[in-house]
Amino acid sequence: MKWSVINKKLLANGFLKLEAFELKHDLFEAGESQLLVRELLDRGQAAAVLPYDPVRDELVLIEQFRIGALDEPGGPWVIEIIAGLQEPGEPADELVHREAEEEAGCKITDLIPVHHYYSSPGSSNEKIQIYFARTKTEGLGGIYGIDEEGEDIRVHIISSETAFEWLDSGRIDSALPIIALQWFRLNRDSIRERWL
């Protein structure tokens, strides 16, 4: 299967980079597609981490303002896991260590890769590596973030059971924490057995 880009145009290059493509691609039953026009949100590689304290059976979640949730009845503050975009050449594991400190004042160890996925391949090239990590939650909490980046992040330290309640009730409603928490729910017993 082949494809060809006929034309590419930069539409925006601010907080996000947006490009327009004219392209054609092979069809499954032979032949070639018509000329397609598609916009691509260029986000690149990202990584995220869900920190867990096996002794206290607590997780670190964060909450912050998100433009995509402006129409939510409760407002555009979203419960998430720690995440960030990779700088060129930055390994994903180094990124999550840095972001854990910046977004939650949290030191993490024992990284476990959970999943690697495209967040929305119909319109974006963002690919995210999710990790699970060990931490100590005692003394964590508060407000974090980098002022120059406009970050205002509230740190939530909650029990595993509370996290599952938030997940089941829909309070957690974005893909990253849903994937990470579903994985944790399936692996909680074996993780606790290994880390305790």
Domain 45-195 classification at class level:
alpha beta
Comparing CA positions, the residue from 109, 113, 159 lying closest to residue 135 is 109
Comparing CA positions, the residue from 146, 142, 183, 151 lying closest to residue 164 is 183
In this structure, is the dihedral angle defined by the CA atoms of residues 181, 64, 49 and 157, taken in order, positive or negative?
negative
- 186 and 164 Cβ atoms separated by less than 8 Å: no
pLDDT (tens digit per residue) in 80-137? 999 999 988 999 999 999 999 999 999 999 999 999 999 999 999 999 999 999 999 9
* pTM greater than 0.85: yes
Q: Show which residues are catalytic.
A: 149
